[in-house]
Amino acid sequence: MSHADQKIHFPASSIKELLISSHQESLYDVDEDLLDKRIKGTLTALLSVFLARWTKPSASQHMLKFFRQADPETKHISRAAEVFQKTLRVLKKKVKQRYNQEKLDDAFSKGLYSFAWQYFWTHFMFLFVRQNPRWGAANTALVRWLPAEYEDGESEPKGWNPERLHNGFQLPPARTVSREIMTSASKWKDDSYSQLLVDWGQYISHDITLTPQSTSTDGSDVDCLKTCENVHPCFPIKMNDGLQGCMPFFRSTSDCFVNFQSGIRQALQRQQLNAMTSFIDASAVYGHNQKLESFLRDLPGRNGKLAVNARFKDPKGRPYLPFVTKLPSACHQDLQGERVECFSAGDNRVSEGLPLTSLHTLWLREHNRIAEALKHINGHWSPEMIYQETRKIIGALHQIITLRDYAPKIIGPESFKHYIGPYRGYDPSVDPSIANVFAAAAFRFGHATISPILCRLNESFQEDERFPHLRLHNTLFSPWRIVKEGGIEPVLRGVIGSAASAVSADMLLADEVTERLVVLDTLKQMDLAALNLQRGRDHGLPGKILAESQICHSNAIRLSSSYQSDSNHSTPCLKKQTKKTHIICRIDCKELALFPKPSLFTGKQTNLRWACRYGFFSQGNLSAVPYQWCSWW
């Protein structure tokens, strides 16, 4: 019997000793890493303040970290998960070294992991206990409808080892899939709906999902903005298009698994965190924790209103959102005149685009308008009563607009009526938490509807001569255009008065977002489709094998009934099978979410795929849709 075939047996005391030492080492590494980042962050901030006095700040500083940064509460919770995952990695390494085992026996691994689970449950019960009051709360794990698929079964995403074969082929790089299948140089319009439908989708997605980026390392000094190696938390996107280098990519921060009905393997898999509340509750307006909520309120005014910008107002004297507290901020600046910092709202992505900023501004003004009216009607109400009652109204308006005006147009009125239907009352037994596949893939379908042009219209709903239309990449992270170019009205008239971008098999994502996506953390222009695909792999989202491996070598590609192509609208995968046959052998979940039949906004999306996708709108209850039917996308 070879040494590798021998079973390993040793007393529980040895396991405990290994586990405790691994845990202590992980605690030290994680905490030291966080301390280093605090020191570097402080020095960077001081340097930025110094340089700001002598030079114009660069238009590309610290965006990914800035806009995807976790708040202190989220960091505290994610630290526990980082320690847990780090401990497992160190433990495996120690066992292999002590017993000269390159690959652990499955039975042994199961026993070791079971002991590790019991240890953490005993010593850190507060990390895992989850009772109903936490369902759908901020800073809780995204739920899984299907078990995660990691390359090592635990945490490493598929593609971490580029040489590894999947269904007989190397996994195509996300950038290759984007360029070969997803990118379109032109987009046609769907006159049935306005661009506001698209922008509301982005806005409401920010109300219910935010997965911060991980900043924890494995004790190395790796810089995810510079490295092209897969070293936690870096999972860079290889260019593979004749260019050297890669696009930076930070993995999502992890969270601890809390479903005790699942097996030990799934319990130890890497899970991701949702920093927002899962409910449509206008948390994008008010924030998802008490500290942020207090910052956004006008507490000194004792009027129940939200705080407004102290420096700027629009041409008619109406308020803007307040600025962020950390200055100078990362947002782009006009080359002339005074600075306009990034805005602050309940969600820190508020300054990503002008329509998003305009919607946030609109809700700020609406809250303060309603609060003023309630104060006039109910003079005996306290400021707190005015604020809370106004917040209820604003939250209800978010729900009404989303359920009455948005969702039926996406999945079709018949599908909405059949699978979601009217509100049937609160069900305390249903976990309303956002599904991982929804946050990281399904709801990102809207990226295919992004228009490459931002229209700005005047009072007659014609192109504004003073503020002409803009290419999308010239509008991102540019709140100065709101303050200095007519306020939010030209933008709002533009999204209301212009048609939404349609999606077909030949036109998925505009090249404005796949070739010229602007982020402030790097001088490189990013690729939204590649970022989405890489995020799906980062989260371990199961792809769907559409055919047996031998079919990939034939001319016939068999799809499920949900994705059968017709003569006029065949999928890009089918059209390009002769050139990139291996790409379609394993289609990522995110990519499948974008294949329309035949157009996204036609009200014809009545199949089960779409009902499953938007089932969360039904009070978090998916019981009307059989679980196994959801597995195709």
CB atoms within 10 A of CB 221: 7
Dihedral sign for Cα 176, 594, 65, 354, please: positive
3-state helix, strand, coil in the chain (%, to 5): 45, 10, 45
- Give the chain's largest Cα–Cα span: 87
Pair of tokens at residue 148 = 């995660």
Q: How far apart are CA 274 and CA 253, in angstroms?
A: 9
Catalytic residue among 206, 288, 398, 539: 206
CB 605 within 8 A of CB 415: yes
Contacts of 404 (CB under 8 A, 6+ apart): none
The beta-carbon contacts of 164-170 under 8 Å, at least 24 apart in sequence, are 166/585, 166/586, 167/545, 167/549, 167/552, 167/585, 167/586, 168/549, 168/552, 168/585, 169/552, 169/582, 169/585, 169/586, 170/582
447 annotated among ligand-binding-site residues: yes
CB 33 within 8 A of CB 216: yes
Q: Where are the beta strands (DSSP E) in 359-486?
A: 453-454, 470-471
Q: How far apart are CA 172 and CA 393, in angstroms?
A: 48
The verdict on whether omega for the bond into residue 300 sits within 30 degrees of 0, i.e. cis, is no
Residue 206 a catalytic site member = yes
CB 409 within 8 A of CB 402: no
Burial of 423 (0-12, 13-18, 19+ CB in 10 A): exposed
CB 291 within 8 A of CB 303: no
Pair of tokens at residue 529 = 């489709």
Pair of tokens at residue 31 = 């905490």
In DSSP notation, 128-146 reads H---GGGTT-TTEEPB-SS
Q: How far apart are CA 85 and CA 217, in angstroms?
A: 11
The verdict on whether omega for the bond into residue 542 sits within 30 degrees of 0, i.e. cis, is no
Pair of tokens at residue 502 = 């349609």
The count of residues in the chain is 633
Dihedral pair phi/psi, residue 535, rounded to 5°: -65, -40
Q: How far apart are CA 256 and CA 209, in angstroms?
A: 17
Cα dist from 543 to 104, 497, 549, 551, whole Å: 27, 38, 14, 17
Cα dist from 576 to 64, 350, 382, 430, whole Å: 33, 38, 65, 43
CB 364 within 8 A of CB 285: yes
Which amino acid is residue 400, in one-letter code?
I
DSSP state of 583: G
Pair of tokens at residue 523 = 């001088």
Binding positions:
447
Binding positions for heme b:
447
Catalytic residues: 206
